[in-house]
Amino acid sequence: MSLWLGTTPLILASRSPVRHAILSAAGIPHTVEPADIDERALEACAETGNAGAVAQLLAREKALAVSGRHSQAFVLGADQTLTLGDRRFSKPASGIAARTQLACLRGQTHELHSAIAVARDGAVLFEHDARARLTMRDFSDTFLDAYLAAVGSAARTSVGGYQLEATGVQLFERVEGDHFNILGLPLLPLLAFLRRQGLLSA
């Protein structure tokens, strides 16, 4: 007997390979259809200084954008923001930007805000946001350059310039928060919602 009781797979409105891998490992059948929304324009309209609200807005809009194209389907949107004090960071646009960002985060404690939203037929049925605190160690410039050389373009694919599940773990001295939240997908609240909807065996 399958644990998934839905008649169709979940749709993941994100191109994140990490989110795809998390859902696959959890046994959630899904297809991937990125929303391709204008994230920077939406961020400009969001509440200033509230990184959690920004992440939630982006997750919601991604889910709704894809939901409008698939009748009856459950669509999962997700997003993540990073803050250091009052400063909010986006994915580094270049290798130089990644180095500058990591040098700024070095020796500091920053916060990751991970949000998800599930929509169906153009309506949001579920939203959740979570927060984690991560402290980078005070690594040397030599290490930073070696790290960036080792990870290459991967430094530009995440909001922090690192992947905690990979080589990026070497940047840190302390991590406080749920591992799935840090990876960008609050999985346990999502599974609880799917069970309440009768999509997963209880």
Sign of the torsion formed by the C-alpha atoms of 59, 10, 181 and 198 = positive
Give yes or no: 38 in active site: no
DSSP string, 49-63: T-HHHHHHHHHHHHH
* C-beta separation of 189 from 116 below 8 A: yes
Q: How far apart are CA 157 and CA 25, in angstroms?
A: 21
Catalytic hit among 79, 86, 141, 178: 79
Those residues with Cβ within 8 angstroms of residue 119's Cβ, 6 or more apart along the chain or in another chain: 60, 63, 64, 66, 67, 74, 75, 77, 125
Residue 168: strand, helix, or coil: helix
Q: How far apart are CA 156 and CA 97, in angstroms?
A: 9
How far out from the chain centre does Cα 102 lie?
Answer: 18
- DSSP β-ladder status, 109-120 and 87-89: unpaired
**Which residues are catalytically annotated?**
79
